[in-house]
Amino acid sequence: MPPAPHWTSSVTVSRLRATAAGDLQELIATADWSELRGRRIVIRIEPRAGYVAQVGPRVLRGWMIRMHFGLLAATNYLLLLLFDEAATPAKRAAQLRAYMAAVVRGELPPRYPDFPATKVTEIEVLGRFCKWFILAHELGHIVSAARGDRFTCPFEEEFAADKWGWLLYYGRAQMMLPPFDELHSAGEMPTSWDRQRWIEQNGDRFAQLVNEMSSERRAFATAMNHCIWAAPHLVFRSLEYLERAFREAGVMLARTHPPAADRRPGLLAHVPAALTDQVLLKTLRPLDEAIPAPA
Ligand SMILES: [Zn+2]
């Protein structure tokens, strides 16, 4: 029996549940998909060390998303490790291996000790995006089921949830990015994720807005775009370390999920090729250097 951790008090969990419920509502409202409209979706955050987020069981005329506290704690740990400038890539890899080994043993690992206080804004934004992406994937399962998607194997089901989840997540996160933020608050931006179509139809106006952006807003847009792509990458990277820890412990993984390393490239398939190159060069490669894939 692992010792009961003090930080999973019911107060903390219920607060987390409230913010997670708010995040869910925002994702659903932003997407405005008929598949999600009017559905009863309940979220349950469980005070457990595990690394679980899943849909089920079905609740009356709706769905339940279950999430272990351990998943949020691990995401937090990963972000603090990433922003700890004193840590080398090798140290980060070793720390993550140790962390995930503890998770596999059913223990709640300690919090990351070095809090890089100067990076608090980046950590908060990235942390929020990571959580959105995890929740959006679960909502993706619900969208997929509501649409009647059919699969021949469980891996396809996960790839479909990744796809729908990515569209939900990307749509919501983009609303925070100039000039979309302005258009969105003026009620001019469609709530659907398909902003590309709006840009094509309103090319001149969009170009004008981009041109008029101050250098500060431009820099902010670049930083936000970086975070939008970094978050899913980080979620998958921590999963890679978890998968490795399970293998090392000789535990057979359920064959329901494709390896995390195979899921990441799927996200890049949903954006134009020119953007893919940018994302690889500016965001994903530097992240791979900071936190290398498990050997
Ligand atoms: Zn899934």
Rg (CA), the chain: 19
Confidence at residue 10, expressed as pLDDT on a 0 to 100 scale: 57
Q: 63 CA to middle of ligand 1, Å?
A: 14
Q: 54 CA to middle of ligand 1, Å?
A: 6
Q: 257 CA to middle of ligand 1, Å?
A: 7
Confidence at residue 5, expressed as pLDDT on a 0 to 100 scale: 46
Confidence at residue 51, expressed as pLDDT on a 0 to 100 scale: 84
> Quick one: which of 182, 143, 157 has its CA closest to 34?
143
Tokens, residue 22: 């708010």
Q: 147 CA to middle of ligand 1, Å?
A: 16
Q: 105 CA to middle of ligand 1, Å?
A: 23
- Give the span between the Cα atoms of 27 and 65, in whole angstroms: 14
Q: Can you tell me which residue has the tokens 């939900």?
A: 168
Q: 260 CA to middle of ligand 1, Å?
A: 11
Q: 170 CA to middle of ligand 1, Å?
A: 17
Tokens, residue 10: 């019911």
Q: 138 CA to middle of ligand 1, Å?
A: 6
Q: 221 CA to middle of ligand 1, Å?
A: 30
Confidence at residue 60, expressed as pLDDT on a 0 to 100 scale: 74
Confidence at residue 20, expressed as pLDDT on a 0 to 100 scale: 85
Residue 66: strand pairing partners: 44, 54
Virtual CA dihedral for 78, 79, 84, 85, nearest 10 degrees? Answer: 110
Q: 53 CA to middle of ligand 1, Å?
A: 8
pLDDT per residue as tens, the chain (295 positions): 444 444 455 557 778 888 888 888 888 877 777 778 778 888 888 888 888 899 987 777 788 999 988 888 899 899 999 999 999 999 999 999 999 999 999 888 888 888 888 888 889 999 999 999 999 999 999 989 888 899 998 899 999 999 999 988 988 888 888 888 888 888 777 665 566 677 778 888 888 888 999 999 999 998 998 999 999 999 999 999 999 999 999 887 777 789 999 998 888 887 777 778 888 888 999 999 999 999 8
Confidence at residue 181, expressed as pLDDT on a 0 to 100 scale: 86
Q: 190 CA to middle of ligand 1, Å?
A: 27
Under a CB-based contact definition with an 8 Å cutoff, are residues 52 and 68 in contact? yes
Confidence at residue 31, expressed as pLDDT on a 0 to 100 scale: 74
Q: 294 CA to middle of ligand 1, Å?
A: 22
Confidence at residue 196, expressed as pLDDT on a 0 to 100 scale: 67
Confidence at residue 195, expressed as pLDDT on a 0 to 100 scale: 67
Confidence at residue 36, expressed as pLDDT on a 0 to 100 scale: 81
Confidence at residue 215, expressed as pLDDT on a 0 to 100 scale: 94
Phi, psi of 41 (to 5 degrees): -125, 120
Pairing, β 40-46 against β 62-68: parallel
Position 152: which residue type?
Answer: T
Domain ranges within the chain, ordered by starting residue:
6-178+213-290
Q: 187 CA to middle of ligand 1, Å?
A: 33
Q: 272 CA to middle of ligand 1, Å?
A: 25
Confidence at residue 276, expressed as pLDDT on a 0 to 100 scale: 84
Q: 93 CA to middle of ligand 1, Å?
A: 25
SS (H, E, C) the chain: CCCCCHHHCHHHHHHHHHHHHHHHHHHHHHHCCCCCCCCEEEEEEECCCCCCEEECCCECCEEEEEEEHHHHHHHHHHHHHHHCCCCCHHHHHHHHHHHHHHHHCCCCCCCCCCCCHHHHHHHHHHHHHHHHHHHHHHHHHHHHHHHCCCCCCHHHHHHHHHHHHHHHHHHHHHCCCCCHHHHHHCCCCCCCCCHHHHHHHCHHHHHHHHHHCCHHHHHHHHHHHHHHHHHHHHHHHHHHHHHHHHHHCCCCCCCCCCCHHHHHHHHHCCCCHHHHHHHHHHHHHHHHHHCCCCC
